[in-house]
Amino acid sequence: MKLQLFHAFWGMEGSLREKFERAAHHGYQGVETALLENRDRNEFKELLEEFQLLYIPQIFTHGNHEESFQEQLEQAMTFSPVFVNSHTGKDYMTEEEQFPLFEFALRKEQELGISVAHETHRGRAMFTPRATAKLLKQFPELKITADFSHFTCVCESLLHDQEADLALLIRRTLHTHGRVGFTQGPQVPHPAAPEYAEELARFEGWWDEIWQCRRQAGMLQTTVTPEFGPVNYMPRIPFTGEPTADLFEVNQFIAKRFLVKYE
């Protein structure tokens, strides 16, 4: 099975071309970012072709969630994506509201012939392991983007008491976001810091399980996006407002650890 690393544009400085150049120069196979404004989409497509990079679009449902999901999914399809990563629904939705939305999403996947990975994310329908597991049990075809950093923050734990739900989530993971969270936030100040060794080990254990699960299922590749975020995801130094670490360097730290383990 082959590892495919995607470069996250979130928080990265520079022009669109500079971001593509950075991704290509550092050996990423693709890029992951939200859909751009209409005026930038042609340039984005041209750069994808020029640098021969794959693309994972991010979409975000809102308002009428079914309508916004369909609209953005159709826009994403014009880029010939590997698959689409979706922030779907809201945490306050009832099951009676969530279930029709995800049923609709699965139907649109089938109609358009594209896979969608629904990201485990604070504020969204999949904001805890239990909430996510409930949806996965209801819809056997549903797949996720595993970003467990949100879970450790929301649940204020490293989730040792939720192993059964996590095992189900790992089996249904299509894509992984490589960010390390902790019990008080979705992002440690720096994953290389020795004071966060326990958190790094816990997350790498989950990533190992995802890798093994996909390999046993006969998958040809596994996609990973190192996705630490900028300020205010990244903590700031008081009074100066400076970030505690260099964003690109932190994501590179995660990328290199994946390469060492899985290349």
Per-residue pLDDT reduced to its tens digit, 183-226: 999 999 999 999 999 999 999 999 999 999 999 999 999 999 99
Residue 38 has pLDDT above 90, yes or no: no
Q: Mean pLDDT over residues 137-163, rounded? A: 98
Q: Mean pLDDT over residues 88-97, rounded? A: 98
Question: 61, 59, 152, 73: which is closest to 98 by C-alpha?
Answer: 61
> How many angstroms separate the Cα of 117 from the Cα of each of 52, 120, 156?
23, 9, 25
| DSSP letters spanning 121-188 | -TTSTT-SHHHHHHHHHH-TT-EEEE-THHHHHHTTS--TT-HHHHHHHHHTEEEEEE---BTTBSS-
Q: Which domain holds residue 167?
A: 2-262
Residues 34, 85: Cα–Cα separation, whole Å:
9
pLDDT of residue 52: 98
Q: Mean pLDDT over residues 36-61, rounded? A: 94
pLDDT of residue 91: 98
What is the overall mean pLDDT for the chain? Answer: 97
pLDDT of residue 8: 98
- CATH number assigned to the domain comprising residue 169: 3.20.20.150
Q: Mean pLDDT over residues 122-128, rounded? A: 98
Residue 40 has pLDDT above 90, yes or no: no
* Strand-pair partners of 34: 58
Q: Mean pLDDT over residues 173-178, rounded? A: 98
Residue 11 burial (C-beta neighbours within 10 Å; 0-12, 13-18, 19+): middle
Residue 103 has pLDDT above 90, yes or no: yes
Q: Mean pLDDT over residues 103-115, rounded? A: 97
Q: How many CB atoms lie within 10 A of CB 209?
A: 17
% residues pLDDT > 70 (the chain): 100
Q: Mean pLDDT over residues 84-109, rounded? A: 98
Question: Tokens 């440690």 label which residue?
Answer: 188
Confidence class for position 263, pLDDT limits 50, 70, 90: confident
Q: ∠219-220-226 over CA atoms, to 5°?
A: 90
Model pTM? 0.96
Q: Mean pLDDT over residues 245-255, rounded? A: 97
Domain total for the chain? Answer: 1
Give the 3-state secondary structure percentages of the chain, helix then strand then coil, rounded to 5: 45, 20, 35
Give me 7's structure tokens: 């470069």
Q: For residues 96 and 135, is the Cβ–Cβ distance under 8 A?
A: no
Give me 227's structure tokens: 């996705």
Residue 240 has pLDDT above 90, yes or no: yes
pLDDT of residue 135: 98
Q: Mean pLDDT over residues 146-161, rounded? A: 98
Q: For residues 192 and 143, is the Cβ–Cβ distance under 8 A?
A: no
pLDDT tens-place string over residues 251-260: 999 999 999 9
Q: For residues 142 and 136, is the Cβ–Cβ distance under 8 A?
A: yes
Q: ∠182-183-186 over CA atoms, to 5°?
A: 50
% residues pLDDT > 90 (the chain): 98
